[in-house]
Amino acid sequence: MAGVQIDGVNNKIDFDDDQDTSISANTDDTLLVEVGGNDIATLTTSSLTLKNSATADNSTFTLNLQTAESDIAADDVIGKIAFAAPNEGTGTAANLTAAAVQAVSEGDFSSSINASSLVFMTGYNSAATEVARFTSNGSLLINTTNDGPASSVGGGGAYKKSLIIQDDVVGGTIYLGSNGSGDNSMLGGVHFFNSNNADEDASDADGQLVAFMRCRSVTSDNNAGDDSGAFLQFANSAESSTLTETFRIAGNGDLTGTDTSISSNSDSRLKDNVQDYTYDISKFKQFQAKTFDWKNKDEHNGRTGNRGFLAQEVAAIDDYWTDQISLEKDSEDAKLIPANSDGNHMAYTLKLGKKDAMYISVIQQLITRIEALEDA
């Protein structure tokens, strides 16, 4: 064997006798690596290109990052790709790792287990830290390493193939949207399917769909004024039935159901201290139905001439029907209600609605007539 051969004419170093495995620089500022007569790597001042010379299907180039560690335990880094700008003149945080991707073990490796996560890291004012990871069970975790409660729905153990988002300040948030300009345009949705269901129609893409929640736009001018609204649409199917809309929440808060009834658990076997109940008619007669406008109409769908009650008046009669909620601190409504000692703007809520206002008003009128007849 001739060994390493240097070809000064072609700026090439050959590593075998047939001269088909080499490193060359016959193009300015470019380094070429050849193996077995095939160019597999090209290095320039700004890029590294790796190429599999095979032409068969799935003939991709594989980059293997390996560790020589012989006893892998939980949280060991197996391989890592890091990004940084070490020559940035401002220094300090600017020179630290700005982003990285690394493979991390989830536990001790064994002859039958190599569970690992792919971790994504980004920086802001310090070296890059974890922001998301894909786990071995198929879940995507964002800003958390906890893949679900110890006892999850459907049995013990972590959630599998789930999206889990955690933010310890404001909570995890998912944004769905589109640039649809027409009325009833799809803005986003969550769909549920059963892959074991047989498609009734091969041309029906939703053949295995069993339920969905969708958000659709509402606009009368194709959004020319950038003022579209939206409604939420819910659909599901009973066994052996067609998927149809069953429930809708309009932009003004109205609820519409299709062949829908609302029920609550009322099983007598779950109850204790059961007694007959008669409401105090003297309290009932004190309720005062009102019409009103909201001070901040934009936060209440612009409605005028609303019908209902004043929560504080109802609470003074019977506080069973009232509660309180904390308003969004940056809302216009919150500006009308002073914050409490905890910094929350607490607004009264009421369990009586606009239909109750009609019923109570009519019943009170009937009571007045009955009492007049009794007096006569």
The CATH code of the domain that includes 297 is 1.10.10
Q: Is residue 262 part of a domain?
A: no
Residue 320 CA to its chain's centroid (Å): 36
Tell me the average pLDDT across 344-368. Answer: 96
181 in any annotated domain? no
pLDDT at 149: 56
> Does residue 285 sit in the same domain as residue 360?
yes
Regarding whether 90 and 121 lie in a shared domain, the answer is: yes
Same domain, 253 and 287: no
Percent pLDDT > 90 in the chain is: 53
C-alpha to C-alpha distance for 215 and 236, rounded to whole angstroms = 15
Bin 225: left if φ > 0, else alpha if -120 < ψ < 50, else beta. Answer: alpha
Residues 290 and 252 placed together within one structural domain of the fold? no
pLDDT band at 155 (very low <50, low <70, confident <90, very high): very low
The pLDDT of 48-77, averaged and rounded, is 92
Is residue 204 scored above 60 in pLDDT? no
Neighbours of 219 (CB within 10 A): 19
307 and 370 in a single domain? The answer is yes
Task: Give the domain range for residue 211.
Answer: 186-196+207-257
Element containing residue 359 per DSSP (H, E)? helix 354-375
Is residue 367 pLDDT above 60, yes or no? yes
Least confident of 164-173, 219-228, 252-261, 366-375: 219-228
| pLDDT exceeds 80 at position 321 | yes
In DSSP terms, 122 is beta-bridged to 99, 129
- Tell me if 98 sits within 8 A of 81, measured CB to CB: no
Tell me whether residue 56 is in a domain: no
Does 137 lie in the same domain as 95?
Answer: yes
Question: Are 136 and 213 part of one and the same domain?
Answer: no
276 belongs to a structural domain: no
Last residue of a domain, one of 224, 242, 257: 257
pTM, two decimals, is 0.66
If one counts the domains in the chain, the total is 4
For the ranges 25-39, 71-85, 91-105, 136-150, the lowest mean pLDDT is seen at 136-150
In a domain, 29, yes or no: yes
Q: Are residues 159 and 190 in the same domain?
A: no
Among 67-71, 119-123, 168-172, where is mean pLDDT lowest? 168-172
Q: In 39-178, which residue ranges form alpha helices assigned H by DSSP?
A: none
Per-residue model confidence (pLDDT) at position 156: 41
Q: What's residue 224's pLDDT?
A: 59
- The mean pLDDT value for 182-187 works out to 86
- Please check whether residue 296 lies inside any domain of the structure: yes
**In the structure encoding, which two tokens stand for residue 372, read together?**
């007049």
One domain, residues 250 and 190: yes
By 3-state DSSP, what share of the chain in percent is helix, strand and coil, each rounded to 5? 15, 30, 55
Most confident of 54-68, 219-233, 305-319: 305-319
Instruction: Indicate if 369 and 314 belong to the same structural domain.
Output: yes
Structure token pair of residue 321: 């029907």
Does one domain contain both 41 and 96?
A: no
Work out the pLDDT band at 351, boundaries 50, 70, 90. Answer: very high
SS3 for 55?
coil
Average pLDDT, the chain: 87
Does 88 lie in the same domain as 45?
Answer: no
In a domain, 130, yes or no: yes
Q: Does the pLDDT at position 366 exceed 80?
A: yes
- The yes-or-no verdict on residue 22 having pLDDT over 70 is yes
Per-residue pLDDT, 203:
40
Residue 151 has pLDDT above 80, yes or no: no
Tell me which of 42-46, 92-96, 136-140, 301-305 is least confident.
301-305
More confident residue, 365 or 90: 365
pLDDT at 206: 52
State the pLDDT at residue 226: 64
Least confident of 125-134, 253-262, 319-328: 253-262
Compute the chain's Rg from CA coordinates: 34
Q: Is the pLDDT of residue 165 over 90?
A: no
How much is the average pLDDT of 245-273?
A: 88
**Residue 176, in any domain of the structure:** no
Residues 53, 38: contact at Cβ < 8 Å? yes
